A and B are shown apart, each in its own frame.
Chain A
């Protein structure tokens, strides 16, 4: 349907996000910074939406942030999500720039214990889906102890 047998795993070779997934494989969280306005540039589209700059440089993040919002998935919107239910899909605001909100999953925490603005930290885990071969190491987040 979408041309890839491993959907919904990410295509880690797709140019614009390849450095993100390569960093994740090394257990690092990397986000590009615009060379023009020096603000974090997310999503890594060809042009910076603030200054129009076309060059950016990927850099490592602290991996700390706050829980901006979250959803507890109890229905499989894709059949591939089916054997992982329930899970928490979330947006995390990064410490370096809370305007950057990373889509992620929250792990190691009961959904009832989640609260907006709670401090979270990155943790790298294999992403796997029902009926899909292989796995990809991905940045998830968990509450800070």
Chain B
């Protein structure tokens, strides 16, 4: 598997394996349109992450949030908690790809002593704001001027259309079927049905239900597409050494990799149309961790659409490229006996649309043995973050060896 090519490349990373621990995780309430602001949602998630870690707001001296929406920044943190300390700040945090790559930036800050306890936070109120957004979460894409001129007028907009196009091409190149995409949706829904915090906890989905659902962007049905919900999450990082004195079982970062596509958000032009930059990210993370794919007990991936799950499973090397459809069939992704338990909280398809931060929370809970749909004796877990232009693999380990 090449780690550099005409269409993408891996960001060079120093080895930070084993240096960082995730010591506290928290989620806000996940809801449909709630009238809450993204800042209120983030504050609730951070409070819960601090409680989980057994840390006080005064202990936090670093904050990370997303470059795309700074709803809970250092000023909001100080105001909300009534504290005044200086905070190390990184805008290379938040959700999506950054929920996976933030621990790398945190590792460098912890190593140099710029911070001791760092919180990474992300939230959205997009269910509440949806009516004001052109194309919903497509708003940012509608504002990109090349897309506005060359894609939107042709109806190649918003994200469901890009990814339905990718799914169609994947079907052509590799023989992937609707039933195989459906197996992903069904596995995620089953996990959400077992997860009290999941938006879709009370709504079962069978493969027959999936196939009976009308197509909205053929080949996609609405069940291929993620929810739109209000919610957020946060996690607290410190050194593995300090983590041993804290309340919860130790979970450390074993490896991280970051991959990039040279065509950015212009998906139509990506050299390998049916791949993600996980192809470049995953080898870096696995090499840093000194682990094999067969060592992984639970996988979570940023899953805006079924096909994005399928591609990342392939591109991380859990099966050869093109065989993802056959790999995910039946109960392969189920938490209880599947070959690769996947998005065990329900993911963005069925748990909540919090853009990956809840995936990291879920992996940490799995490795502590605290998850709702618990994989027995889970020791190694992964979050695959994705934005389109970038993807990152975050490998977490129970304990530190």
| Contact digits for B138-154, partner A, Cβ 8 Å, 1 yes 0 no | 10001101101111111
Please tell me if the beta carbons of A69 and B273 are within 8 angstroms of each other in the complex: yes
Please tell me if the beta carbons of B217 and A75 are within 8 angstroms of each other in the complex: yes
In the complex, the chain A residue whose C-beta lies closest to that of B271 is A99
Within 8 A of A (CB), among B181-222: 214-220
Complex CA distance for A17 and B148, rounded to whole angstroms: 10
User: Which one of A11, A111, A138 lies within 8 Å of B218 (CB-CB)?
Assistant: A111
Task: Give the distance to chain A from B143, nearest Cβ to Cβ, in Å.
Answer: 6
Task: Give the distance to chain A from B262, nearest Cβ to Cβ, in Å.
Answer: 6
Q: Does B166 belong to the interface (CB within 8 Å)?
A: yes
Interface residues contributed by chain B, number (CB under 8 Å): 42
Which B residues are CB-close (under 8 A) to A90? 154, 156, 165
Please tell me if the beta carbons of A14 and B215 are within 8 angstroms of each other in the complex: no
In the complex, the chain A residue whose C-beta lies closest to that of B173 is A116
Please tell me if the beta carbons of A72 and B158 are within 8 angstroms of each other in the complex: no
Task: Give the distance to chain B from A90, nearest Cβ to Cβ, in Å.
Answer: 8
User: Which one of A11, A14, A21, A72 lies within 8 Å of B217 (CB-CB)?
Assistant: A72
Please tell me if the beta carbons of B266 and A43 are within 8 angstroms of each other in the complex: yes
Number of A-B residue pairs with CB-CB distance less than 8 Å in the complex they form: 129
Complex CA distance for A1 and B156, rounded to whole angstroms: 19
Please tell me if the beta carbons of B146 and A71 are within 8 angstroms of each other in the complex: no
Complex CA distance for A43 and B89, rounded to whole angstroms: 35
Q: Does A103 belong to the interface (CB within 8 Å)?
A: yes
Q: Does A87 belong to the interface (CB within 8 Å)?
A: yes
Q: Does B269 belong to the interface (CB within 8 Å)?
A: yes
Q: Does B291 belong to the interface (CB within 8 Å)?
A: no
Please tell me if the beta carbons of A71 and B149 are within 8 angstroms of each other in the complex: no
Q: Does A127 belong to the interface (CB within 8 Å)?
A: yes
Complex CA distance for A9 and B150, rounded to whole angstroms: 10
Please tell me if the beta carbons of A69 and B169 are within 8 angstroms of each other in the complex: yes
Which A residues are CB-close (under 8 A) to B136? 77
User: Which one of B135, B150, B215, B271 lies within 8 Å of A77 (CB-CB)?
Assistant: B135
Which A residues are CB-close (under 8 A) to B263? 49
Which B residues are CB-close (under 8 A) to A55? none
Which B residues are CB-close (under 8 A) to A72? 215, 217-218
Of the listed residues A69, A70, A73, A84, the one surrounded by the most CB atoms of chain B closer than 10 A to its CB is A69
Q: Does A68 belong to the interface (CB within 8 Å)?
A: yes
Please tell me if the beta carbons of B154 and A2 are within 8 angstroms of each other in the complex: no
Within 8 A of A (CB), among B242-268: 262-263, 266, 268
Task: Give the distance to chain A from B165, nearest Cβ to Cβ, in Å.
Answer: 5
Task: Give the distance to chain B from A112, nearest Cβ to Cβ, in Å.
Answer: 10
CB-defined A-B contacts under 8 Å, sample of 13: A10-B153, A11-B149, A16-B149, A68-B273, A71-B220, A72-B218, A73-B217, A77-B138, A77-B160, A77-B217, A89-B154, A90-B156, A138-B153
Residues of chain B at the chain A interface (Cβ within 8 Å): 132, 134-136, 138, 142-143, 145-146, 148-158, 160-161, 164-166, 168-169, 172, 214-220, 262-263, 266, 268-269, 271, 273
List 6 other contacts, CB 8 Å, given A7-B134, A17-B150, A74-B214: A16-B145, A21-B149, A74-B217, A77-B136, A89-B161, A90-B165
Q: Which 8 A-B pairs have the closest CB atoms?
A: A72-B218, A75-B216, A89-B155, A103-B156, A116-B172, A69-B169, A17-B149, A71-B164
